[in-house]
């Protein structure tokens, strides 16, 4: 996945994640953020919540 594809997917998903899990911010980092990902790379996303990052919220996202 390239950088722009990842950003587009996060942008499309953010409203639903806010509603369901209280997500306040999604930040891309790592090789995908640098647009240096390969087909073996994962996508690293930092997620901030409007309250405690409980396991239900964390794994729900």
Q: What is the pLDDT of residue 23?
A: 97
pLDDT band at 49 (very low <50, low <70, confident <90, very high): very high
| Residue whose C-alpha is closest to residue 24's, from 10, 12, 33, 14 | 14
Instruction: Give the count of domains, the chain.
Output: 1
pTM > 0.95: yes or no: no
DSSP letter for each residue of 2-33: -HHHHHHHHHHHHHHHHHHH-EEEEEEESTTT
The mean pLDDT value of the chain amounts to 96
What pLDDT, in 10s, does the model give residues 7-32? 999 999 999 999 999 999 999 999 99
The domain containing residue 50 runs over which residues?
Answer: 3-60
- Average pLDDT for residues 28-50, to the nearest whole number? 96
CA separation for the pair 25, 1 (Å, rounded)? 20
């Amino acid at each position: 996945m390239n950088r722009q594809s990842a950003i587009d997917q996060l942008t499309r998903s953010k409203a639903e994640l806010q509603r369901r899990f209280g997500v306040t911010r999604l930040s891309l980092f790592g090789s995908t953020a640098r647009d240096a990902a390969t087909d073996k790379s994962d996508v690293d996303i930092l997620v901030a919540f409007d309250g405690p990052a409980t396991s239900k919220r964390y794994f729900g996202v």
